[in-house]
Structure 1
Amino acid sequence: MTNPGKGIYDPAFVKDLFDRCSTKYILFSYVCSMGFTERWRRECVDALPQTHDTPETCYDLMAGTGEIWPHVLKRYPDLKKVVAVDISSGMHKRALKRLHEMRSDKIGFIEDDVLASNLPAASADLIVSTFGLKTFNSDQHQKLAELTASTLKAGGSFCFIEASDPKGWWLRPLYIFYLKQVLPMVEKVFLKGARDFAMIGTYSTNFGDASNLAAQLRAEGLDVTFRKHFFGCATSVSGRRPVA
């Protein structure tokens, strides 16, 4: 059983968790979100501000199973490369096997803790991230904000989206019950007693929403827009690095 203790934001813990989840992640996340994860991935790409130049390189941070790649490549058909950065080798192998065998010429992969990676400065036209923010604490979000600011080219754009705690929504108690009670029960019954996906509820409620990250990104000199999606069940931050 997964131990949701102090170490849940430790990179080794996160890698082990998602390596175990990788074979069931695509189906479980789609079915248990009732399709909203796919909708929010599309909205993430749609929210990317227009870049000043034709984008050539996109970084997908905490890339997981790479389900955002088709949306990115549809909007930017002339994109030369999507560089996927993820700590879990299991998630990436699942992505290539299940979704993207025909796109392997455009997909590069870095298996690494994104916050410890050596991404070159001013090397990305686009940066996206879907459903990886919740696995970071506030200090790690600060490092992510610094990485985003340093990695984006001038005029480059970004969008990050994450499942969030919809505080103030009158149906929030039902939503939290679903995250913390229903999903673990589904996992217990259909995934032979595993408790890994039950961490989604813990991570999401600990995360809150993306408003703190928005402030951290602004402090790094980026133009930032914060949005709520479906009453705050997901939130996003998008924007660009200003042209000097």
Structure 2
Amino acid sequence: MDRRARGHDEASEDIYDAKFVKGVFDRCSGRYIAFSLICSFGFTERWRRQCVELMPTPQAPNPTGYDLMAGTGEVWPHLLERFPGLGAITAVDISTGMHLRAMQRLHAHRAHKIAFIEDDVLASDLPDASADFIVSTFGLKTFNREQHARLAKLVARCLKPGGVFCMIEASDPKGWWLRPLYLFHLKVMLPLVERMFLRGARDFAMIGTYSTNFGDASHVAEMLRGEGLEVEFKRFFFGCATAVAGRKPGVFAPS
């Protein structure tokens, strides 16, 4: 196992284990939206919008698809704004708390458009060739390299011929002259904010740990290409976020 996948604060837990990830985000769910928005200075919302803008247009007139590691569903308004004819979104997330937060507080009026599967994405049995689109915003970091390879296979398997995808993640901006300040923000400031204002020093700090461990999405791009998908890799704001977008080759066949 990747050495980076072992432990947090000298503990021996595997931070990429599905139960560990579920616990982190269940405990974070109540304050996740505000914490993410404030501590990213609003960039997470901007990057979600840019993720949807980067995704190629689905060929189906009323596309249906998956939001993987869906969290609180903050990408859904951007999807529905760009694709007003969108048929349905199936959100897949391991965290009960994040989904309840999404549907009770944010998206009750969109419930007719949203279905939910509470499951570890990598253990789910999503049907083959069932999606016109797949999107994921800020969920890649909770997987290690071996899990990313499994995710690439799932994306390739679940997309219909001609289906499209885009996934974005906070990344390590190597080469940027302000990288030390960025890493200081992730590794020092986020835990400090949590200790001072959120009565804890573990769960939100894990988001910084996951992000710095992740690196960037370039290796995910190569894995997706290895599964036969057409892939574009893109950096945002000096590499502080990176995305992969593309299409599954083939001709769209109306159902």
Specify the TM-score bucket, using the shorter chain as the normaliser. over 0.9
Structure 1 partner of 2:169: 162
**Cα distance, 1:38 vs structure 2:** 0.2
Aligned equivalents of 1:52, 1:111: Cα separation in 2: 28
Structure 2 partner of 1:211: 218
Is the CA contact 2:192–2:201 (under 8 Å) kept in the aligned structure 1?
no
Structure 1 partner of 2:98: 91
The alignment status of 1:229 with 2:236, answered yes or no, reads yes
With the length of structure 2 as denominator, give the TM-score of the two structures.
0.93
Structure 1 partner of 2:207: 200
**1:17/1:89 Cα in 2 relative to 1: closer, same or farther (>3 Å)?**
same
How many pairs are equivalent?
Answer: 244
Structure 1 partner of 2:65: 58
Alignment of 1:100-139 (within 5 A): 100-139=107-146
Aligned equivalents of 1:152, 1:131: Cα separation in 2: 20
Query: Tell me, what secondary structure is at the counterpart of 1:54?
Result: coil
| CA RMSD, 1 decimal | 1.3
Residue by residue over 1:71-111, the C-alpha shift from the partner in whole angstroms, topping out at 9 and shown as x without a partner, is 01111111111000000000000001121010000000000
Structure 1 partner of 2:191: 184
% identity of equivalent residues? 66
**Cα distance, 1:55 vs structure 2:** 4.2
Structure 2 partner of 1:238: 245
Among 145, 159, 177, the residue aligned to 1:152: 159
**Cα distance, 1:193 vs structure 2:** 2.7
With the length of structure 1 as denominator, give the TM-score of the two structures.
0.97
Query: Tell me, what secondary structure is at the counterpart of 2:136?
Result: strand
The alignment status of 1:47 with 2:54, answered yes or no, reads yes
Query: Tell me, what secondary structure is at the counterpart of 2:153?
Result: helix
Query: Tell me, what secondary structure is at the counterpart of 2:14?
Result: helix
Query: Tell me, what secondary structure is at the counterpart of 1:198?
Result: helix
Structure 1 partner of 2:178: 171
Gap runs ≥5 in structure 2: 1-7
Letter in 2 for 1:104: A
Letter in 2 for 1:184: P
**Cα distance, 1:236 vs structure 2:** 0.2
